[in-house]
Chains A and B, each alone.
Chain A
Amino acid sequence: MSQASTCPARLARGNVRRPAPQPKSSTESMDTSRPRSVVIAASSATISSSPVLKNALFAMLLLSTPPSPPSSRTAKYGSSRAIFSHRAAYSSSSFTGIRISPIGPVYNSAIMKAMVVLALAFLPVVSLADVVIEEPRHPRPTPPPTTTTAATTTTTTTPATTTVAPTTTHAPAPAPAQAAAIPEKKPRRYPLAMILSLGVVLTVVLAARRGRARRAQ
Chain B
Amino acid sequence: MTASLFAALAITIVVEALIAAAILRRFLWIESVAVQCTTWPVAQWLLWRTGKFWPIELGVIVAETLLWRIVVPMSWRRAVVVSSVANAVTAVIALVFWR
Which residues of A approach B to under 8 Å, CB–CB? 111, 115, 126, 129, 131, 133, 135, 190, 192-193, 195-196, 198-200, 202-203, 206-207, 210, 214
Q: Is B41 an interface residue (CB 8 A)?
A: yes
Closest chain-B Cβ to A105's Cβ sits at a distance in Å of 17
Which residues of B approach A to under 8 Å, CB–CB? 1-2, 5, 9, 30-31, 33-42, 44-45, 48, 67, 70-73
Q: B45 near A199 (CB under 8 angstroms)? A: no
Find the B residue at minimum CB distance from A198.
Answer: B37
CB contacts (< 8 Å) of B42 on chain A: these are 126, 196
The 8 A-B pairs with the shortest beta carbon distances in the complex, nearest first, are A199-B37, A199-B38, A202-B34, A192-B41, A196-B41, A206-B71, A203-B34, A195-B41
**Which of A126, A195, A214 interacts with B37 by CB under 8 Å?**
A195
- Report the separation of the CA atoms of residues A190 and B47 in the bound assembly, to the nearest whole angstrom: 14
Find the B residue at minimum CB distance from A130.
Answer: B49
* A-B residue pair count with CB separations less than 8 angstroms: 59
Q: A135 near B1 (CB under 8 angstroms)? A: yes
Closest chain-B Cβ to A93's Cβ sits at a distance in Å of 28
Find the A residue at minimum CB distance from B2.
Answer: A190
CB contacts (< 8 Å) of A126 on chain B: these are 41-42, 45
- Known A-B contacts A190-B2, A206-B31; the reply to A196 vs B71 at CB < 8 A is no
